Every structure is written in C-alpha cells, then in structure tokens.
C-alpha cells in the first residue's frame, strides 16, 4: 500500500472512531435527544410526572383579624406549604410547630414556602396579638 493511501485510511479510521465516540456519549443517536427535549418540555408545561404546585394561599388581615375567619391550609406530608399574608397591621407571623417566624410590615405582605415534614395540626398567628389567622393541617 502506498504511503498516501495509508494516511487516507488512517484518517478515515480516526474520523469513524470520533463519530462513534460522540454518538456513544450522546446516548445513541437523535432519538435520545428528542426524548430528552420532550421530557424537559413536559416538565416545563406541567404535563410530565412532576406535580404542578397549586397557587399559594393568600391570607388577608384587616384590623388584626383574618378576612373570612381563620383560613385552612391543607397539604400532604412531603408537599410544599405555600402561603402569603397581606396585613394592614405590622406583626410577626409565627407558624407554630415548625417554629418559623417572619415579620410583616403595616400594609405589607410576607410569603412562606417550606416542605411539610411534620404531620399534624399547626396554628399560624399574629404572634404579638395572639390572633390565629390560619390553621395548617399536614396529612400523613
């Protein structure tokens, strides 16, 4: 075999090896990337297996009382607890049992988001006033 032919064959072997390596690293071809794209799209649109979170509960406080009475927040253990307090009075919002505290300014709002790791019933209140504004129930 001539030297030029050997270099051409060697070059072809290298190109084939590189292409095979790239295909192996990508998971076997274009169907895999299409599958990944579909999975990502499904999660983004909420049509995949990932649960879509409901909107956060909004608790409105007027004259240091919850509008509509004490609000119920019901979740399953392991789910995310999400709520926002909009208040016309400044106070500390306290989630008993979980021992979370956040201050809300007069005519302000504050949001909570945390995993429900403890099952049971928990009071959410305006701490300094001792006024219950919500009841968190975490089902096992």
* pLDDT tens profile 55-89: 899 999 999 999 999 999 999 999 999 999 999 99
| Average pLDDT score over the chain | 80
The answer as to CATH 1.10.287.1080 being correct for domain 57-139 is: no
pLDDT at 55: 84
118 pLDDT more than 50: yes
Return the closest-CA partner of residue 136 out of 64, 85, 92, 62: 85
How is the chain split into domains, by residue range? 3-45, 57-139
Return the closest-CA partner of residue 106 out of 86, 78, 76, 132: 86
pTM above 0.85, yes or no: no
42 pLDDT more than 50: no
């Amino acid at each position: 075999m001539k030297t030029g032919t050997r270099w051409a064959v060697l070059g072809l072997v290298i190109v084939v090896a590189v292409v095979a390596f790239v295909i192996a690293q990508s998971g076997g071809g274009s169907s895999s990337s299409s599958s990944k794209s579909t999975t990502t799209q499904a999660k983004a649109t909420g049509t995949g297996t990932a649960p879509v979170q409901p909107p956060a509960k909004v608790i409105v406080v007027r004259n240091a009382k919850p509008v509509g009475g004490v609000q119920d927040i019901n979740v399953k253990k392991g789910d995310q607890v999400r709520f926002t307090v909009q208040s016309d009075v400044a106070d500390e919002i306290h989630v008993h049992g979980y021992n979370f505290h956040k201050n809300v300014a007069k005519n302000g709002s504050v949001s909570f988001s945390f995993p429900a790791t403890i099952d049971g019933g928990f009071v959410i209140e305006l701490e300094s006033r001792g006024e219950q504004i919500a009841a968190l129930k975490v089902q096992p």
